[in-house]
Amino acid sequence: MEAYIRFADRVSAWFGKAFAWSILVMTFGVGYEVFVRYALGAPTSWAFDISYMMYGALFMMGGAYTLSRDGHVRGDVVYRLWRPRTQAIVELVLYFLFFFPGILALIFAGWKYASRSLRYMEVSVMSPANVPIFQFKLIIVAAGILLFQQGIAQVFRCILCIRRGAWPQHESDVEELEEQLIKEHERDILHHGGEAIDIVLPAGQTRNIFHRDRPIHRDERDDGGPVERPKGPGTKGER
C-alpha cells in the first residue's frame, strides 16, 4: 500500500506541476489584452478564451495534486477533535459513499461531452475567433482518472491509519506562508530563549535588586551607585 501511495503521489505531483505553467500562459494573455486594449485601442478576440481555458485546465488537473498534499479545504470544526483512527474510519466511509461515485460520474459524463465535442470539432462560442476547444473537453476525463487513482491512495492512507493509530506523512513540497512564519517565530524563541535580556532604565530611576536567596530592597541608580537622599529637617540620614 505504501508503494502505491508513493506512486500515486508522484503521478499527481507531475501533472499538477506541469499544468501549473498554465498560469503563466493565462497571465501573458490577459496582460497582452490589457495592453493592446487600453494602450493601442486594438482589443483581441482570443484573450478571453485563453484565460478561461488555461484556468480551467489548471483547476481540473491540479485537483489530484492538491488531494495528495491534503490541501483541499476541510470543515474540521468537529473533525479535528477526533482521534486519528476515528478520522480515518469516517474518511474511509465518505470516500466510498461520496467521493468515488462522484468521480466516476465525472469520468463517464466527461467522456460523453468530450466524444461529442470531438465528433464535430467544437469551437468556442464566447468570441468571434472560433478558438478550438474540443481538445480541452478531454481534460475532464483526464482529471477524473487522476482523482480516481489518487482517491485509491487516500483509501490506503485511511487503512494504514486505522492499523497504526496515526496518519502516514504527506509530501510537503508546498507550505502556507503562515506556517512558515510560525516556524520562524518558534526558532527565534528557541534561539534567544536562554539569552539574558538587558533592561535599561532611565537615569535616576530606582529599582529593586533581588538576591539569590532573599530579596534585598535597595535603592540604586542606573549606573549602580546608591541614590543620595537630601538631608534636612524631617529627614533621616542613612545608617
pLDDT of 210 reads 47
CA 183 to chain centre: 14
d(CA 87, CA 158): 8
d(CA 106, CA 84): 30
pLDDT 10s digits, 37-60: 998 888 888 888 888 889 999 999
Bridge partner residues of 220 (DSSP): 226
Q: What are phi and psi of 231, to 5 degrees?
A: -100, 140
Q: At what angle do helices 2-19 and 47-61 cross, to 10 degrees?
A: 170
| Nearest alpha-carbon partner for 152 in 12, 16, 58, 14 | 12
Write the DSSP string, the chain: -HHHHHHHHHHHHHHHHHHTTHHHHHHHHHHHHHHHHHTSS---SSHHHHHHHHHHHHHHHTHHHHHHTT-S----TTGGGS-HHHHHHHHHHHIIIIIHHHHHHHHHHHHHHHHHHHHTT-B-SSSTT--B-HHHHHHHHHHHHHHHHHHHHHHHHHHHHHHHSSPPPPP-S---HHHHHHHHHHHHHHHHTTS----PPPTT----EE-SSSEE---B-TTSPBPPPPP-TT-----
Q: Other C-beta atoms within 10 Å of 61: how many?
A: 22
pLDDT of 193 reads 60
pLDDT lower than 50: segments of the chain: 209-212, 215-222, 235, 237-239
Domain boundaries, the chain: 2-188
